[in-house]
Chain A
Amino acid sequence: MQQSTTQNLWLNSLLLVLCLASCGRMQVAQMTQVECKSEYYWKLFDSTHTTHQYKTEVTLYGKFFSGILVLKQINDTTCRSAFTTVMGAKLFELIVSPQKDSVIYTIPQMSNNTVVAAIAKDIRTFALLNKFTTLPLCRKEDKVDGEIVERRTKQEIYRYFYKRNNLILNQIQVLSEGFKTKTLFDLTYASNAVLPKDVYITHLNFKLKIHLTSL
């Protein structure tokens, strides 16, 4: 009996903590709309840094593989991308732009449209910062040290977090209409670097993690 009461107390406490924690998360953060400064979202890739190579480690449902991702900025709104295994076999080559993606090559195992569309979407979000899909809305949030550039499409919200002191992009969130996080991009930089050294992409809807390391 005493054990049962203790268990109930423990469970109730846990529920209370979870409830408080979730209530805390439900609080609407104090947001202020600010003027959008173009340097925020033009800084990551531009014509002065045309080609980039990233070592890419992919973990999908516990399976791991790696290769090299190449990104080439053709212009402000177009990025050409290729992925090869370390041993040199090309798995795909794409041209990604806000309105249209063109598949130049994929191996037969990847020719499924869903796979290519998911890859193209990640590249668009990261390399093109989803430019020109919709107009950006710039905000400041109490809990965020910096500014947020937000773009909304019909189904999703893209939030780009820029640190206040050096204006570098340190996180991208892709949220559903109901503000549920779908994908997170966490970016880290070597000191004084303009481009991210490491990018950690976490897809929360399915067990997919991608780690890019600049070469």
Chain B
Amino acid sequence: MKFILLSVVLFLGIIIHVAAQEAGFKPLKDVDVFSNKFDVASKKLTSIHSDFVQEKHLSMMEADIKSNGKFKYKKENKVRLEYTAPFQYLMVLNNGKMYIKDGSKINKFDTNANKTFREINDMMVATLKGDVLHSRKYNVTYFENESSYLLEMKPTEKAIQEMMQKIKIYIDKKTLHVHTILMMEASGDYTKMIFKNSIQNAAINDTEFVVK
């Protein structure tokens, strides 16, 4: 009887483990090798310039909300996310300040003064830079397929859990560039950001991170 129960539990465990894995991905065998490679690449990274497509999936809608624009990152903590469609919208993170320009209106937030903004700020910068691996705010599980690494990050802090169930980061195996970020909510709704035409370590002027 005990044997049967143990077998059932083990069988269910295997099924749950396989189901939690994304189709086509298997657990990464040597996490340390990957972490070292990724750390070296991250240290060499001084800037990123790419196009992005954002898809917001809401289960209540038949079609996703799509937007696109340009993304720029400059070491240490400058981020520019410029939406060009379906409307113009600019978000800049620059040394602890968040600026949002919508039409002619500009909003400025001190991300250090507001816990929610600080969490969003830290999460975005860490995710886009790829150094989220070392964050204590996430438990990371590693997967791979032929072309990509997949990092599944589950937040450990309640404040982030309330906004995000898990974040999936897809990294190109050849270039070690982050090409897709999937932010999943507990409801099953998600935001997917796909980065295209990425150029690394090209010069980006500091004025790109000033909002006027």
Q: From residue B77, how far is it (CB to closest CB) to chain A in Å?
A: 17
Known: A66-B89, A86-B83. Contact between A72 and B61, CB under 8 A? yes
Interface 9-mer from B11-19, B22-30, B39-47, B184-192: B184-192
Kindly supply a per-residue 1/0 record for chain B positions 33-72, scoring 1 wherever the CB is within 8 Å of any chain A CB and 0 otherwise. 0000000000000000000001010101111010100000
B107 lies within 8 A of chain A by Cβ: yes
- The answer for the CA separation of A86 and B107 in the assembled complex, in Å, is 14
Q: From residue B117, how far is it (CB to closest CB) to chain A in Å?
A: 11
| A57: B residues at CB distance < 8 A | 102-103, 105
- The answer for the CA separation of A87 and B89 in the assembled complex, in Å, is 10
Kindly supply a per-residue 1/0 record for chain B positions 98-126, scoring 1 wherever the CB is within 8 Å of any chain A CB and 0 otherwise. 00101101010000000010001000000
Are A88 and B89 within 8 A (Cβ)?
Answer: no
Contacting B87 at CB < 8 Å: which of A64, A87, A104, A215? Answer: A215
| B56: A residues at CB distance < 8 A | 68, 84, 88
B150 lies within 8 A of chain A by Cβ: no
Contacting B60 at CB < 8 Å: which of A66, A80, A215? Answer: A80
Are A64 and B120 within 8 A (Cβ)?
Answer: no
- The answer for the CA separation of A65 and B114 in the assembled complex, in Å, is 15
B169 lies within 8 A of chain A by Cβ: no
| A50: B residues at CB distance < 8 A | 62
A115 lies within 8 A of chain B by Cβ: no
Are A70 and B65 within 8 A (Cβ)?
Answer: yes
| A213: B residues at CB distance < 8 A | 87
Are A70 and B61 within 8 A (Cβ)?
Answer: yes
- The answer for the CA separation of A105 and B116 in the assembled complex, in Å, is 17
Kindly supply a per-residue 1/0 record for chain A positions 83-105, scoring 1 wherever the CB is within 8 Å of any chain B CB and 0 otherwise. 01011111001000000000011
Using a CB–CB cutoff of 8 Å, the interface residues on chain B facing chain A are 54, 56, 58, 60-63, 65, 67, 81, 83, 86-87, 89, 91, 100, 102-103, 105, 107, 116, 120, 162-163, 183, 185, 187, 189, 191, 193
Extra A-B contacts (18), CB below 8 Å, given A84-B58, A88-B54: A53-B65, A55-B87, A64-B105, A65-B107, A68-B56, A70-B61, A70-B65, A80-B60, A86-B83, A86-B102, A88-B56, A88-B191, A89-B191, A90-B189, A107-B162, A107-B163, A109-B116, A215-B87
5 A-B pairs closest in CB distance: A88-B191, A88-B56, A86-B89, A66-B102, A64-B105
